[in-house]
Amino acid sequence: MVQNRRNTQLFRTPFCREYWRLAFLEMKNPRMLVFAAMILALRIALKPVKIPIVADLNENVGFIVNAFGSMVYGPVVALLSGALSDALGFLLFPSGVYFPAFMITEMAGSFVFALFLYRAEISIPRLLLSRFCICFFVNVVLAYPIWVWYYEIALGKSYSIALIRIVKNLALFPIETVILTVLFRHILPPFRHLGYAVSETDGLQFTRRHIALLAGLTLLGACTIGGYFVYDYNTRSFSADYTPAQRLEMNRKMNDIAAAEGTDVPSDEMVTIIESAHTSIGNPNMTYAVTIYRIDMERFSAKQAEAETALAEHRENAKPYTMDTLHGYSRTPASKDDALIPIGHGTIVANRETGEKVSADIQWE
């Protein structure tokens, strides 16, 4: 049978010539290349699959397929698989601007999995260390300069490492190790019978020491995620998540409150723009930072007429220009519209459930 012809030699470390000789031979094995192609297809298909944890923290399940494939076909094929996974994944599921340097992290992740798992006696410590090395050294340390480069070259911005990346990678790897262990215990026997895997499952039995270690790391990860959730909730601007309809509604509500705070400008000639909205866990109120504008009615009428003419002539990018346009602005568009003249700024505190004003502190210009 085919599986009997495959060399089943195991190695304690990858630092020997025979290990790499066998790894390079996998590139000449048609059966292994077909298997790698199947793993590659599955990795790409799973790229858009994400499990939400908290806030903008998500878990991608593709690491499971990557780990198993790298264990079977080794570091040489893993490098090629990682490169193709990045390129083809972007072609099928494009997101943002394609930046070839990200291929390095995809290749490195597959390579590290292979170094730990290819032709090795699979054990819980090996799975734990392999996932930790990828989460920290690949996804954080190696990825940081690539993200800096990407922001400078592709976006023309500066980049500072996002806390979310560190939290995700260091908080979830113990849970990911448990997932890998359970799946490998069930997947290894049939694939060993088929001649793809060479390791037994003896090292994948949970001992008390393993359970204590993983439980401790999982608890630490859960505390880290909980801390991040509290930090994110207490520092985020909720107005950044408004839909256009929500922004229009909330700006109009703030405008009604601001109009009652001692100004001679009629409310229908005034626009109040929410610049940020903050609260904290357990706080029933939301604090809105607002800027208040007076509408230059002459300029507004002229721009409204220009917009109607452009729409009638079906010009490219023509848009309506109405009072809803002004009240639906966020901070930057409002500051750039020359029909709006700033007349005040301040904060308004309102109940999150009812929208009723709690307090207002407006400084008029």
Angle at 111 between CA 105 and CA 114, to 5 degrees: 145
* Mean pLDDT value across residues 127-147: 92
* Span 125-149, average pLDDT: 92
Give the distance from CA 244 to its chain's centroid.
Answer: 23
User: Residue 82 is inside which H or E element, if any?
Assistant: helix 62-92
Provide the pLDDT for residue 327. Answer: 95
For 218, residues 6+ apart whose C-beta sits below 8 A from its C-beta are 174, 175, 178
In DSSP terms, which residues pair with 292 in a beta bridge? 272, 344
pLDDT at residue 166, as a whole number = 80
Q: List the structure tokens of 314.
A: 């079906």
Average pLDDT for 231-260: 91
- The CATH number of 2-235 is which of 1.10.1760.20, 1.20.1560.10, 3.90.550.10, 3.40.1360.10? 1.10.1760.20
Q: Which residues of 299-324 are buried (b: 16+ CB within 10 A; e: fewer)?
A: ebeebbeebeebeeeeeeeeeebeee
DSSP per residue over 330-345, as a string? -HHHHHH-TTEEEEEE
The residue ranking higher by pLDDT, 151 or 164, is 151
Encode pLDDT of 263-281 as tens digits: 788 889 999 999 999 999 8
For 293-312, what is the mean pLDDT? 94
The Cα–Cα gap between 149 and 159 comes to: 9
At 340, give phi and psi (nearest 5°). Answer: -110, 130
Mean of per-residue pLDDT scores for the chain: 89
Cα 33-91-113 angle, rounded to 5 deg? 45
pLDDT score at 2 = 41
pLDDT confidence bin for 124, thresholds 50/70/90:
very high
